[in-house]
Amino acid sequence: MIRSTALATLFALCLLAVPRASEAQGPSKPQPGVNKGTNRQASATSKTDDASTLLGAWSGTATIPLGDSTIVVPVTYNFTQTNGALGGVAMVPGQGAGPIAKVVKDGNRLRFVVTAPENRLLEHDGTLSGASAAARVIEGMVNLDNKPIAKFRITPAKPAAPPR
């Protein structure tokens, strides 16, 4: 039988929240990668650190250890850029989607947050590798409340084949 904490972890990762309408927010605290005074995500791009390498759809798996067993779930991340800020949507097919925020790319290191049900923040900390677009991979850990709950591995999604 799956323990309740393991089940909660599974739900937090698999049942991502559907994005909600904007809610009124009070003054926010400065966040790493956010420009002071503008409260916008800092651009994490330079000639050697181009955020455009992230843009588009990525797909792969999240591997969740549950005691003596492991659950592997398919995941899709769609990274977008609006007004210089990286963001997007993460999705578990058939389960739902949640917004990607606080995207920070520093060299090959990539950090971002996906909001899951009950405003649980799934903090992703990974490494981007691969010299060519076809060989790109992002691998890392998903943390909830500063505790690792899953490993993730994603690659650029292949375009759908044209209909015959």
pLDDT digits 0-9 by tens, 61-99: 999 999 999 999 999 999 999 998 999 999 988 778 999
Q: Taking the CA of residue 86 as centre, how many other CA atoms within 13 Å lie in the half-sphere pointing to its CB?
A: 25
Q: What is the pLDDT of residues 116-142, one digit of tens each?
A: 888 899 999 999 999 887 889 999 999
Cβ-Cβ contacts under 8 Å for 75 (sequence gap 6 or more): 59, 60, 61, 62, 90, 91, 92, 152, 154
Supply the Cα-derived Rg of the chain in whole angstroms.
Answer: 16
Please report, for the domain that includes residue 144, its CATH number: 2.40.128
Is residue 18 one of the residues assigned to a domain?
no
Residue 10 in any domain: the answer is no
**CA–CA dist 129, 146 (Å, integer):** 24
In a domain, 147, yes or no: yes
Number of structural domains in the chain: 1
Domain assignment of residue 131, given as a range: 40-156
Contact 91, 76 (CB under 8 A): yes
- Number of neighbouring beta carbons within 10 Å of residue 42: 17
